[in-house]
């Protein structure tokens, strides 16, 4: 999937980047299957739509459908990535449709052209459409074309934790897509593949000021392809680290990417060695100065094709809820 993400049209020069969105599958607790657990895609779970219609399905919009395939990925990565409504979604009706179709659709007697259908194949188009709108919005607001990693980071950063506050989890991943949160404002800090790490030990750090309101930062990268059957699938390992500092610059507290408890980041713990998407969310951080660091732990793979460097990796960063300090 890395080749398609970085260059969807091999026959032309240059790189035409492309974000792939897959349904998570309808296997419930039986889990995800290839390619729905690929690391550089967005894998979409199905949540309820709130439309009961004639189906004996839940109308609780903050519930995940029972049929939606659960994660994690085979190597333990967080999957699916996001959720979107996938129950009783009004879809196009085949002229030959009659009765129940594969247990997924029921022809609507009130419309010869449409029918309510259920499945993660109903949820994934919501996210594909959301990604297209984010792409268009970003180009309009910033004048730049967002990378697949940036679109993914924006969607994840704006997602809503539904049901119990327990993201990330095997049911919804990082939550249900919420375009209102994404479009609320351009993030206070962002970088779209402008920085490149060439080897382990390299890092980028900056200071921000928090006022006690919700803070969310996301780092996503299109990782280099792993060898067939590799477990874990991660090749280039980056870390997201947030540190609260005292007036002398000493570290008071540290949060590592993807270490969560109760739907927000928990201090301490061990670093993530599996995912190429890392988040730190703080619901009510202590006001003060914080240091944000993106660090290359290991860069053995070619994350950026079509250049002369065979060991490199860029990333997309989105940060909301803090003011950058010069």
CATH number, position 256? 2.60.120.380
Q: Answer yes or no: do 36 and 162 share one domain.
A: yes
β-pairing, 277-282 vs 215-220, is antiparallel
Distance, CA of 242 to CA of 271 (rounded, Å): 12
User: What's the total number of domains in the chain?
Assistant: 2
Round the CA-based radius of gyration of the chain to a whole number and report it. 20
CATH number, position 174? 3.40.50.200
Q: 316 with 240: CB under 8 angstroms?
A: no
Distance, CA of 35 to CA of 42 (rounded, Å): 11
pLDDT in tens, the chain (326 residues): 556 677 766 667 667 788 999 999 999 999 998 889 999 999 999 998 876 554 445 567 899 999 999 999 999 999 999 999 998 888 877 666 554 444 567 666 557 777 788 899 999 999 999 999 999 999 999 999 999 999 999 999 999 999 999 999 999 999 999 999 999 999 999 999 999 999 999 999 999 999 999 999 999 999 999 998 899 999 999 999 999 999 999 999 999 999 999 999 999 999 999 999 999 999 999 999 999 999 999 999 999 988 889 999 999 999 999 999 97
19 phi-psi bin (left φ>0, alpha ψ -120 to 50, beta other):
beta
Q: Answer yes or no: do 157 and 172 share one domain.
A: yes
Question: Which residue range forms the structural domain that includes residue 272?
Answer: 187-326
DSSP secondary structure string, 303-323?
A: -S-SSS-SSBEEEEEEEES-E
Q: Answer yes or no: do 172 and 211 share one domain.
A: no
What are the angstrom distances between the C-alpha of 323 and each of 19, 182, 190, 212, 261?
Answer: 30, 18, 12, 11, 25
161, 186, 211 — which closes off a domain?
Answer: 186
CA torsion 88-28-5-278 (nearest 10°) is 110
Q: Which residue has the tokens 């280039």?
A: 236
Distance, CA of 177 to CA of 302 (rounded, Å): 31
Give exposure, 289-318, as e/b (b: 16+ Cβ within 10 Å).
bbbbebbbbbbebbbbeeeeeebbbbbbbb
Q: Answer yes or no: do 199 and 139 share one domain.
A: no
Distance, CA of 153 to CA of 176 (rounded, Å): 14
Q: Answer yes or no: do 8 and 138 share one domain.
A: yes
Distance, CA of 169 to CA of 322 (rounded, Å): 26
Q: Which residues contact 278 (CB under 8 A, 6 or more apart)?
A: 218, 219, 220, 238, 239, 240, 257, 258, 272
Q: Answer yes or no: do 175 and 196 share one domain.
A: no
Distance, CA of 75 to CA of 26 (rounded, Å): 20
Distance, CA of 132 to CA of 117 (rounded, Å): 23
Distance, CA of 86 to CA of 127 (rounded, Å): 11
Distance, CA of 208 to CA of 215 (rounded, Å): 11
DSSP 8-state secondary structure symbol assigned to residue 231? S
pTM: 0.93
């Amino acid at each position: 999937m890395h080749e398609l993400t970085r260059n969807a049209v091999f026959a032309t020069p240059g790189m035409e980047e492309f974000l792939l969105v897959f349904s998570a599958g309808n296997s419930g607790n039986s889990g995800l299957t290839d390619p729905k657990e690929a690391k550089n895609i967005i894998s979409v779970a199905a949540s309820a739509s709130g439309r009961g219609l004639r189906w004996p399905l839940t109308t609780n919009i903050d519930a995940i459908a029972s049929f939606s395939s659960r994660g994690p990925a085979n190597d333990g990565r967080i999957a699916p990535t996001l959720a979107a409504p996938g129950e009783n979604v009004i879809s196009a009706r085949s002229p030959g449709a009659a009765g129940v179709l594969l247990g997924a659709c029921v022809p609507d007697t009130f419309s010869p052209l449409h029918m309510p259908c259920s499945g993660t194949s109903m949820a994934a188009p919501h996210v594909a459409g959301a990604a297209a709108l984010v792409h268009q919005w970003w180009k309009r607001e910033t004048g730049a074309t967002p990378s697949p990693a940036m679109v993914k980071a924006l969607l994840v950063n704006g997602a809503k934790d539904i049901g119990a506050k327990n993201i990330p989890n095997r049911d919804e991943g990082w939550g249900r897509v919420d375009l209102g949160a994404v479009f609320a404002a351009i993030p206070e800090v962002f970088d779209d593949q402008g920085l490149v790490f060439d080897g382990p030990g390299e890092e980028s750090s900056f200071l921000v000021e928090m006022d006690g309101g919700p803070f969310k930062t996301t780092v996503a990268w299109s990782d280099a392809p792993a060898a067939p059957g590799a477990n874990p699938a991660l090749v280039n390992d980056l870390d997201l680290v947030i540190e609260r500092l005292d007036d002398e610059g000493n570290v008071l507290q540290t949060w590592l990417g993807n270490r969560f408890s109760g739907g927000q980041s928990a201090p301490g713990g061990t670093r993530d060695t599996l995912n190429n998407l890392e988040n730190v969310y703080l619901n009510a951080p202590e006001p003060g100065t914080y240091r944000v660091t993106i660090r290359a732990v290991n860069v053995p793979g070619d994350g950026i094709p079509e250049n002369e460097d065979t060991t490199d990796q860029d990333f997309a960063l989105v940060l909301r809820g803090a003011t950058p300090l010069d």
